[in-house]
Amino acid sequence: MFPLVPVTEAEHDVRIALAYATPDNFTASPVYVPTAGCWLHADAVPLLIRAVELARPLGLALRILDAFRPAEAQWALWHHTPDPEFLADPRIGSTHSRGVALDLDLIDAASGAPLDMGTGFDAFTPLSHHGVTAIPVEAQRNRLALLGLMTAAGWDFYGNEWWHYQMFDARARYPLLSDGVLGARRMMPA
């Protein structure tokens, strides 16, 4: 079975706004081609579906900012900002490059408006850590709601990034995947 499956807004009831397919990310340049699509390992999809189901009765929806990230993309991000507090060293490999991690936030399901999370996605600052109280109370509640939804759905979290969730034991269970795994390149030409 092919390990990666597409995640779409219509099929999975999520919003997709891949930050690395636009210049709206910490590199200020697109890393992926605009048509890269959102992909997850088939084993991760049931966990995503469960999180969506838990968010729905609360009037919330998940907005995916990144999912599968080719190993080559991890190198590009690392070359730009080699910060092991916020980026996995590509020699070890990211759980994103295994297709079993998501970067996401919460939005109001009715309006589509993003909830205040206290910092932006990929804000490389201690204010991005879980459990920070130096952000507005509403943002603390929103982070805790996301944490609760994701962990109740079976995801593990990374303490330094409120937006990052991954499958448990991902590095031991899943291999790194390169840009060619999908047959079409996702990376912007060098």
Evaluate whether residue 15 is within a structural domain: yes
Q: Give me the tens of pLDDT residue by residue for the chain, a chain 190 residues long.
A: 469 999 999 999 999 999 999 999 999 999 999 999 999 999 999 999 999 999 999 999 999 999 999 999 999 999 999 999 999 999 999 999 999 999 999 999 999 999 999 999 999 999 999 999 999 999 999 999 999 999 999 999 999 999 999 999 999 999 999 998 988 788 888 7
pTM of the model: 0.96
Write out the two tokens for 105: 């936030």
Evaluate whether residue 104 is within a structural domain: yes
Residue 131: is it exposed, middle or buried by C-beta count within 10 angstroms (0-12/13-18/19+)? exposed
Evaluate whether residue 105 is within a structural domain: yes
Evaluate whether residue 189 is within a structural domain: no
Q: What is the CATH number of the domain that holds 15?
A: 3.30.1380.10
Evaluate whether residue 91 is within a structural domain: yes
Number of domains the chain is built from: 1
Task: Please give the Cα distance from 79 to 101 (Å, whole number).
Answer: 21
CA 179 to each of CA 33, 68, 69, 187: distance values in angstroms, whole numbers, following the listed order: 11, 10, 8, 7
Q: Which residues are catalytic?
A: 161
Evaluate whether residue 187 is within a structural domain: no
Structural domain including 80 reads 4-182
